[in-house]
Amino acid sequence: EKGNYRHYMQKEIFEQPIVVAQTLQSYVRPFEGEVALPTGDLDLATVGRVTIVACGTSFYAGMVAKYWIEQFARVPVDIDVASEFRYRQPVLEPGGLALFISQSGETADTLAALRHARSEQQRIAVVVNVPTSSMAREADLLLPTHAGPEIGVASTKAFTCQLAVLAALSANLARAKGRLSRDEEQEIVAHLQEAPAALNAALGHDDDIAAMAHLIAPARDVLYLGRGPDYPLALEGALKLKEISYIHAEGYAAGEMKHGPIALIDEAVPVIVLAPSGPLFEKTVSNMQEVRARGGKIVLISDAKGLEEAGEGCIATIEMPEVHPLIAPLVYAVPVQLLAYHVAVAKGTDVDQPRNLAKSVTVE
């Protein structure tokens, strides 16, 4: 079943262009230049607040969605990990939209959070990969990802498919709220349609990433930095590395470095910087320079333009295609997944079945 791949995780990383395209088919009408949800039942125009709840990688997809929903639809978003949400007595006004994100649809904390939200008169939207799961059954608005079965314990293709769905949902909500012109909607659709090819281009750098894994494999600690919608990608990169290579890693919002974590910097702590060209590029690069000034060893992930401007002096660079900021979180998922994968392979860990972890966490 793994075909020519050595691990399920590797196979699933490489499936992303296809499964993201497959997922987008249910959420965009390219010829009309429109986003469309598979089930249009919920009246999104009346949504005044969105509450997002998930765990792990699905939670990071939710974090990206918060940036998008607030930017496009101007609807306030609360977000919580499910294990906190379910016990903290969140204030939920009747009629709010509660959005749950899960690959398996069976994660115990997320499911319990969903039931709690329902008991508080929330409308329930679910982004889920397993269509027969408990969460899928309990949704008012079911938003399936079409990633196909994900076997590797480390989530990869489910994540990028979640992002594709969440981008379409954000645009849909923005349209329902009268915040999106026809032109803007067409542009969003066009950018989303570019994602599969951009993912493919990102995968084309697999060999470069494999070749630099030895720079990271000996590290005890690794930091990941990003800004805006790419900040959750820094968190996701750190989670992937922890899970399968057992190297301690943390993701930070690039601007937070000088509020503490920069004290950790020395030549033994590689810093992976996610900085696509775009409105936040210069800001992230200036945080990167602060790290470098303190002897930090930097791996810069950016596009040709960004690498030309800021790549000098880095211990390694990973080139991404130049993409619109909307799809950068999908595209930049690829290098962080591949980096974690190749470091784990270099260390000889069990990539598909990392120690202490289960694919689906059905106990709290």
Contact 264, 293 (CB under 8 A): no
Work out whether 337 is an interface residue with ligand M6R (CB under 6 A).
no
- How many whole angstroms from its chain centre is CA 280? 18
Rounded CA-CA distance 69/229 in Å is 11
Q: What is the token pair recorded at 181?
A: 């012109």
* Cα end-to-end distance, the chain, whole Å: 31
The answer to whether 103 contacts ligand M6R (rule: CB under 6 A) is: yes
User: Measured from the CB of residue 287, what is the shortest distance to ligand M6R in angstroms?
Assistant: 26
For position 361 contacting ligand M6R by CB under 6 A, the verdict is yes
Task: Closer to ligand M6R by CB, 35 or 343: give it.
Answer: 343
- Candidates 50, 52, 139, 154; binder of ligand M6R (CB under 6 A) is 154
Verify binding: residue 71, ligand M6R, rule CB under 6 A.
no
Pick from 74, 34, 27, 45: which is nearest to 188 by CA?
34
Instruction: Pick the closest to residue 243 from 119, 127, 337, 122 (CA basis).
Output: 337
Whether the CB-CB separation of 250 and 238 falls below 8 Å is answered with: yes
Q: Which residues contact 327 (CB under 8 A, 6 or more apart)?
A: 167, 191, 192, 194, 195, 198
Q: Does 219 bind ligand M6R (CB under 6 A)?
A: no
The contact pattern for ligand M6R, residues 46-65, with x = CB under 6 A and - = no contact, is ---------xxxx-------
Among 16, 107, 302, 337, binds ligand M6R (CB under 6 A): 107
The catalytic residue among 242, 283, 347, 359 is 359
Stretch that binds ligand M6R, among 104-112, 114-122, 177-185, 266-274 (CB under 6 A): 104-112
Q: Does 243 bind ligand M6R (CB under 6 A)?
A: yes
Q: Which positions are annotated as active-site residues?
A: 359
Give me the residues that bind ligand M6R (CB under 6 A), please.
Answer: 55-58, 102-104, 107, 110, 153-155, 239, 243, 357, 360-361
